[in-house]
Amino acid sequence: MRTIETIKSGSNYAAVSVGTMNQVIEHELPMGPNVIKGKVFVGQAVGATGSELSFQTLLPGQDSGFLHTHKTHEELYIMLRGRGTYQVDGEQFPVAEGSIVRVSPDGRRALKNTGDEPLTYLCIQYKADAFTESDSPMVDGVILNDPLVW
């Protein structure tokens, strides 16, 4: 079983590694009496305070195992490699590397690998309706005049 490795951390940051996208399948996530192979949550490991994120790999023919919704969290699914079929509220559509799917908390969702290679994706989970106009990167971001030093 693969574990999250800490690269470096400080008072304002944390950097970790889950391994290469080929190694995501080596992670195991205990969920009650079951173990989900190929899934790892990393929000706690990096000290995220506004979201949770996970990587998961589905092998050819494998699906996420169940439909699910959330009470308050919206999710972004970012396909990193492979291809599959995504299902929301009974509607199905193809996804592949580069596809991004946003699902509101009430969306009944599942994903299936319909390709011939592993399907690896990043899922970012955050509280729905939390961002306002003042949270826009163009408003919230501050460009510093400090020189870059490498």
Q: What is the pLDDT of residues 88-143, one digit of tens each?
A: 999 999 999 999 999 999 999 999 999 999 999 999 999 999 988 888 888 889 99
Instruction: Give mean pLDDT, residues 2-8.
Output: 97
The conformation of residue 71, written as its DSSP 8-state character, comes to: S
Q: Can you list the alpha helix ranges (DSSP code H) found in 47-140? A: 137-140
Banded model confidence at residue 32, pLDDT cuts 50, 70, 90: confident
% of the chain beyond a pLDDT of 70 = 100
Half-sphere CA count of 40, side-chain side, radius 13 A:
24
Of the pLDDT bands very low, low, confident and very high (cuts 50, 70, 90), residue 63 is: very high
Closest C-alpha to 57, from 6, 4, 113, 16: 113
| Ordered domains of the chain (ranges, CATH) | 5-130 (2.60.120.10)
Question: Considering the entire predicted model, what is its pTM?
Answer: 0.92
Mean pLDDT of the chain: 95
